[in-house]
Structure 1
Amino acid sequence: MKENNHTTQQNTFELLAPAGSLAIFKAVVAAGADAVYVGGSKFGARAYADNFSDEELLEALDYAHLYGRRVYLTVNTLLKNSEIEQVCAYLQPFYEHGLDAVLVQDFGVLTAIHERFPDLAIHTSTQMTVTGVEAARLFSGYGVTRMVMARELSLNEMKRIREETGMELEAFVHGALCYCYSGQCLFSSMLGGRSGNRGRCAQPCRLPYAVMDEKHREYKKDAYVLSLKDMCGIKDLRGLADAGVYSLKIEGRMKQIPYAAGVVSYYRKYIDLFLSGQETQVSEGDYRAVLALGNRCGFTDGYYHRHNGSDMVTFTKPNYEKTNEALQQQILRTYENGAAKIPVRGELVLHQGQAAHYRVKTQTVSAEISGMEVMQAQKKPLLAEDVKSRMEKTGDTPFVMEDLSIRIEDGVFLPNGALNQLRREALAELQKKMLKPYQRQEHPQKAAEEKLPEACEKREKRKECVFAVTGERRQLAPVLESSCVTSVCLDMEAYDRSTIMEELKEDANAVMQKDKEVYLAMPRIFRAGTAEWVRQILPDIKRMGFAGVLVRNYEEMALAKETFLGSEIITDHNLYCYNDQAVRAFAGQGVTKNTVPLELNRSEIKRRYNEESTMMLYGYYPLMTSAQCVHANTRGCDKKRGLSYLKDRYQVQFPVKNFCTYCYNVVYNSLPVLLFSNLEELKKAGIRDFRMDFTMESAKETKAILKLYEEFAAGSRRQYPKEWENRYTNGHYKRGVE
């Protein structure tokens, strides 16, 4: 395998490689990556990768820029109030050193970075679950120059986003696939306190589960139903180009040199062939070689051409396999020393009585240095061949002397130390000039301002409200009978597409007849097909008298602001407001109320601005929202909403609901969270609105839960009934996440 000396130029694709260490970084540059994404010492979504120290990151920036490549830093975790103040100070030296872009998940972090560094490119992380044109338009106003789309999008959906918004798009092309829409997973968090949103996923999706029907009858044993194969899109370059995708992203910041550099080298080969007009099919030998570098039960082409499918699931084993040790070693030997040194040409002039003059240049940049005065030789004059041998040395610099001309007068002398200094200074100046275009002026640090979110300051204090979200129509009757419920949120997931308009209108009227406010909960995922349908029925929905809307993604938030779906826009818990900067940012988009994130503990909630927040007191936490379908993948698709269960090795059962109208699954926690006993503590934290989410409860169960709440709210009960023991969880209220 020959080293790839590819240099970046304007072309159709950017090949974007991962690097978990400086050694891997240099290897993928050598293998032909146009850009590299890395994690630094803080705030990255791969907490268990080696990651880069601050000094290594500065070195990586210089290394990349000398070879005309780009570096993107991941700041793609959710940050708490105690952390967000550190973000801009952390980024400052990298910004000044020429950082090309930053990847972000947290909306608060995004707006803080844009305010502090308005000329720094921002890429929305796949953790933001961007699936549609509405989000692209929204983010374009915040310095976002590129969207890393949800892995689940098809090529057609990507094409639509590109054509309708002009936003630069980045798509995953190779590596591991998450079962869950990225940014929508709480599975690892709830099972072990290791949050995927904080870069600490323990991958419970790679464990075996028994599958059970709605009556808890087991019909599939020990299947890896949540484990997806690795994707490989090397055969889809034409489709990606037609879709308008610019950046092709390889997953794998936890991988080593043979995998990272090897995969990059093969993609580089076929990208270059494609860009030169030679649409050469990927050879079987090369495809097998890429497979040998690492795969999980073979490859899938992901979601490019289909919404989901059982052929994407590992089922029998999730083992990660790599073969062909000879190939691994060959790649390691080829790339472990990094890219070939940059060729330079030199010209040295030594004339008696004049300052020594040395000029070095690349194809585009030159540097000139004058040294000490050249003397007449008293004993042994300088010989041209000796001088040339000394000046050709480049040591540990990134340069190699390609050609050196020497003009030396007879009988002159210069100390070896002076020659060495001349050489070192010239190469250092050359490197400085090559890097200067990337570097920025220092930005003055702004002092952090302690104040309420600007868009919230003028609002009047609200009276306390109790929301009930109904995920099934059978729950509505007991909710309407409850005197404590002030507002009812009708979940669109509770209705089938064929009957939703009649039933939704009927239920909305029933709520208003009870003098309760009625809200509409939007779908968890809002992809193109759903968006088109919702826009068609929107005029009729607006006439139903909804007081507001509960939105669960950025697409819906933008749509709600655009179309005014009632006077209130409430963001759900998965539009994360870990920090007050995010609260302010959402308020600036017309959001009147947010939901307290489910991963914060009691002390973190107390340190948060809660006057505009609602808190979930009861409900089964949604652990995963997936484009895959447990029911369809194990029993076949019947296009009917239903309930099944996943049983783990500890015999714990996790409910799974498939929502066929929107074609996604939700895996719920095995027990509901119950925080009624913490009601007064939450009020002291400034929370005025409380929420109960009903998902699979019967009417009788719904009534019992509401009665229990009424007793706690009235002060007539302080402890849960004995029969409730082992039937609920405190969620993260006490323990939180790292």
Structure 2
Amino acid sequence: VSVYVTVNILIGDSELSALEAYLKDLERIGVDAIIVQDLAVAKLAQRVAPKLHLHGSTQMTAATLDAVRFYESLGFTRVVLARELSLAEIEHICKNCTAEIEVFVHGALCVCYSGQCLMSSFIGGRSGNRGACAQPCRLPYELLDSLGTSLLPKHEAYLLSPKDLNYSEYMNELVAAGVTSFKVEGRMKKVSYVRQVIGTYRHILDTAHIDSTDADALASGFNRGFSTDYLTDHVGKSMMTVVAPNNQGKLIGKAEVKKGQVHLYLTEPIEKGSLLKVMQASGSITYYQIDQNWSLVNEKHFVGKPDEGFAAGQVFLASTPKSQKQRGLQDFSAKLEVHGYLSINTDREQPCTNLTFVLNDGRTVTVSNEFEPVYANNKPTSLEKVTDQVGRLGNTLFTLASMSIPKGPYMWPASVLNALRRDAVESLETLLITDHETAWAELAVEPQDMSSMVAKGKVQYSEPMVSARVDELEAVKAAIDGGAKKIIFGGDRLQRKPYELSIYEQVAKLCKDHNVLCVFATPRVVKDDEVKAYMNTLKAIVEAKPDSISIHVPQALLWLRDLGYTGAIEADTGLNIFNGSALQVWEDLHMSSIAPSLELTLTQLVSLQKSTNLPLEVMVHGYTEMMISEYCAIASFV
């Protein structure tokens, strides 16, 4: 089993020293790879723990083939793709890159592109980019018109709360697409949930088939309802929980009101003590605790009257007394079987005792103890005694499958057997780590010197200036009239509505006529099916000859290189530059200026400025997009 450790948060400058020690420890104990968001972590790991493979986290917002290729150039051997990609987009990336590709297939889903969400940080003081998301998307919201009137029924309040991913029915397609690893969201989940889901997906992969037991196992675990909308490219209201953001359970029937009585009609038997949840059309939820076994299917079961609090709606099985019966929940042992052989080494002048451990795959270690066994005709050490002492492997990776001892009435003290056991375990653990490092296949991903490929133009900033980020031509004029000395134009637009290409030349001319710096920005998300069209936009931007181009996505460096651009490039906020080491990565790539993370404090910004000679650009006023999402609440509900 490979071990990957998540180090996928943005790191503060004050934390880098502790991080160095942590990375060294991870390498020392045999961790295979770290999952990374911050390029400072990657840079540090390559220097102090070079045996650790680098895996790009979904927090890196890798949504295109070129994004994966950029991370390949930095030495990443695997990339976890953004959850928002369709099956066709995933396949396109897998078939055209060298790095391994990992895809989320089950569990909680963010409404925003991971790595581009500021909502928790700005309204809750807890940064998702720092691993402390307060999950504001799970809160109720209202959708209002321009007059402040609510456009939706009161019970449709969870507009930003997605259902959980469940790609179990598409595993064969994902395998065929070339996906290397399937990721299940399991952190902060109960052990029973992790066992159940992992066991189910393991069975689906092994059999290349999903059966009703698999589907039931997944539906019976914690879930907010399931969605495949991103994978099938059908994003909309159907992927939202809408009415309730918590555990939904398994749909097993309906509740109906007839003649003043509420009856349940169930599609499967349920046992005494089960908890049923009835979700009404209004969004209200009623729970029933069943006090007897119900074996009849599709027959009515009387539960009460409406005036007693009972209601009609969909019936879900929330829990059962024996909810751990599903596939994957059976007891199992992840321990490795060892076969023990106690022997007397007579090759030495002074005989001693050897203990050999042999794994089922044939790997072997032998350790020695200076104790010379003696005959003990009265109380020799029995096989049962040796097995008991050597088999005390409770807190180790191993379990003793068999034991053999020399013939004859020999005696070994318990202290000798215990010492031999400890030494054998230590030797076997060392062997496993060493063998694993040797067998860990090196991927054909070679880091490249990106700095030689990137434009090296510079914009000179002699003093602080006010810049304005705008997205309309009239706003450009207004900003110049207001005294702005730098215009940052373009980038993200609602629904990705493209600009007329001629507007870039108009903006550039307007800035030049007023002796104002002209900078054009890239969007924070460009998907593969949009790259071709965006390259036409980028070509128009280059031809307009701006003073600089501000990039929110790292793959823009590759696009600009392909267009032959030689001017200045600025690193923008979408790159999540949070510390001096990450800033240095971009400085080495010849950035002309840096707009660091919007989540930095004033103290952190001052410290960051001291670490570089590059000018920093900081947002001081205006609206900031809290989320970037493929999902549109307005289009989905109105």
- TM > 0.5 fold call: yes
Is contact 2:459-2:547 (8 Å) kept?
no
Matches within 5 A, 1:54-203: 69-203=1-135
What CA deviation, in whole Å up to 9, does each residue of 1:603-647 have, x standing for no partner?
A: 221111264211112210111111101121112xxxxxxxxxxxx
What's the offset of the Cα at 1:459?
A: 9.2
Secondary structure (helix, strand or coil) at the match of 2:631 reads coil
The aligned amino acid for 1:606 is: V
1:707 equivalent in structure 2: none
Aligned partners of 2:492 and 2:399: how far apart in 1?
Answer: 64
2:215 equivalent in structure 1: 287
2:429 equivalent in structure 1: 431
1:685 equivalent in structure 2: none
Is contact 2:197-2:217 (8 Å) kept?
no
The aligned amino acid for 1:244 is: G
Is contact 1:232-1:302 (8 Å) kept?
no
What's the offset of the Cα at 1:221?
A: 4.4
Distance 1:128 1:428, change over 3 A: closer
1:346 equivalent in structure 2: 340
Aligned partners of 1:405 and 1:300: how far apart in 2?
Answer: 55
* Unpaired runs of at least 5, structure 1: 1-68, 275-279, 441-452, 636-738
1:264 equivalent in structure 2: 198
What's the offset of the Cα at 1:314?
A: 1.1
Is contact 2:33-2:54 (8 Å) kept?
yes
What CA deviation, in whole Å up to 9, does each residue of 1:141-196 have, x standing for no partner?
A: 32211111111011211222222222211110100000110111111111121111
2:356 equivalent in structure 1: 359
What's the offset of the Cα at 1:590?
A: 2.7
Aligned partners of 2:413 and 2:633: how far apart in 1?
Answer: 77
Aligned partners of 1:472 and 1:621: how far apart in 2?
Answer: 17
Aligned partners of 2:341 and 2:480: how far apart in 1?
Answer: 88
Aligned partners of 2:328 and 2:637: how far apart in 1?
Answer: 44
Aligned partners of 2:19 and 2:240: how far apart in 1?
Answer: 38
Are positions 1:317 and 2:274 aligned together? no
1:708 equivalent in structure 2: none
Distance 1:326 1:388, change over 3 A: same
What's the offset of the Cα at 1:384?
A: 5.3
Distance 1:70 1:579, change over 3 A: same
What's the offset of the Cα at 1:120?
A: 1.6
Aligned partners of 2:541 and 2:20: how far apart in 1?
Answer: 43
The aligned amino acid for 2:227 is: T
What's the offset of the Cα at 1:584?
A: 0.9
Are positions 1:305 and 2:303 aligned together? no
Q: 1:251 aligns with which of 166, 185, 189?
A: 185
What's the offset of the Cα at 1:263?
A: 0.4
Secondary structure (helix, strand or coil) at the match of 1:500 reads coil
The aligned amino acid for 1:358 is: L
The aligned amino acid for 1:227 is: S
Is contact 2:105-2:182 (8 Å) kept?
yes
Matches within 5 A, 1:394-473: 394-396=392-394, 397-409=396-408, 411-438=409-436, 462-473=462-473
Are positions 1:634 and 2:631 aligned together? no
What CA deviation, in whole Å up to 9, does each residue of 1:641-681 have, x standing for no partner?
A: xxxxxxxxxxxxxxxxxxxxxxxxxxxxxxxxxxxxxxxxx
Distance 1:87 1:420, change over 3 A: closer
Is contact 1:549-1:565 (8 Å) kept?
no
What's the offset of the Cα at 1:468?
A: 1.5
2:144 equivalent in structure 1: 212
Is contact 2:204-2:214 (8 Å) kept?
no
1:52 equivalent in structure 2: none
The aligned amino acid for 1:85 is: S
Shifted more, 621-630 versus 429-438: the winner is 429-438
Aligned partners of 1:80 and 1:476: how far apart in 2?
Answer: 35
Aligned partners of 1:334 and 1:489: how far apart in 2?
Answer: 55
2:323 equivalent in structure 1: 328
Secondary structure (helix, strand or coil) at the match of 2:25 reads helix
What's the offset of the Cα at 1:340?
A: 4.5
Is contact 1:360-1:426 (8 Å) kept?
yes
What CA deviation, in whole Å up to 9, does each residue of 1:111-161 have, x standing for no partner?
A: 222233333211111111111122222211322111111110112112222
Q: Greater relative contact order: 1 or 2 (C-alpha under 8 angstroms, separation 6 or more)?
A: 1
Distance 1:167 1:435, change over 3 A: closer
Are positions 1:510 and 2:513 aligned together? no
Secondary structure (helix, strand or coil) at the match of 1:225 reads strand
Distance 1:526 1:383, change over 3 A: closer
CA RMSD for the aligned pairs?
3.0
Aligned partners of 1:499 and 1:625: how far apart in 2?
Answer: 19
1:613 equivalent in structure 2: 616
Q: 2:167 aligns with which of 233, 237, 244?
A: 233
2:373 equivalent in structure 1: 374
Superposition TM-score, scaled by structure 1 size: 0.68
The aligned amino acid for 1:605 is: L
What's the offset of the Cα at 1:538?
A: 3.7
Secondary structure (helix, strand or coil) at the match of 1:480 reads helix
Is contact 1:96-1:439 (8 Å) kept?
no
Distance 1:414 1:530, change over 3 A: closer
What's the offset of the Cα at 1:346?
A: 2.6
1:24 equivalent in structure 2: none
Aligned partners of 1:166 and 1:513: how far apart in 2?
Answer: 47
What's the offset of the Cα at 1:561?
A: 4.6
Aligned partners of 1:417 and 1:219: how far apart in 2?
Answer: 77
Aligned partners of 2:532 and 2:328: how far apart in 1?
Answer: 52
What's the offset of the Cα at 1:89?
A: 1.6
Distance 1:350 1:466, change over 3 A: closer
The aligned amino acid for 1:579 is: N
Aligned partners of 1:375 and 1:157: how far apart in 2?
Answer: 71
Aligned partners of 1:390 and 1:83: how far apart in 2?
Answer: 47
Is contact 1:161-1:167 (8 Å) kept?
no
Is contact 2:12-2:578 (8 Å) kept?
yes
The aligned amino acid for 1:546 is: P
What CA deviation, in whole Å up to 9, does each residue of 1:558-602 have, x standing for no partner?
A: 423543546221222221222111111112223211113221222
Is contact 1:369-1:426 (8 Å) kept?
yes
Is contact 1:577-1:583 (8 Å) kept?
yes
Secondary structure (helix, strand or coil) at the match of 2:204 reads helix
Superposition TM-score, scaled by structure 2 size: 0.78
Aligned partners of 2:112 and 2:25: how far apart in 1?
Answer: 35
Shifted more, 252-261 versus 78-87: the winner is 78-87
Is contact 2:106-2:165 (8 Å) kept?
yes
Distance 1:307 1:582, change over 3 A: farther
Is contact 2:199-2:329 (8 Å) kept?
no
The aligned amino acid for 2:637 is: T
Matches within 5 A, 1:523-534: 523-534=523-534
Q: Give the number of equivalent residue pairs.
A: 542
Is contact 1:594-1:612 (8 Å) kept?
yes
Distance 1:142 1:493, change over 3 A: closer
Secondary structure (helix, strand or coil) at the match of 1:408 reads coil
What CA deviation, in whole Å up to 9, does each residue of 1:37-79 have, x standing for no partner?
A: xxxxxxxxxxxxxxxxxxxxxxxxxxxxxxxx11111111112
2:277 equivalent in structure 1: none
The aligned amino acid for 2:362 is: T
The aligned amino acid for 2:536 is: Q
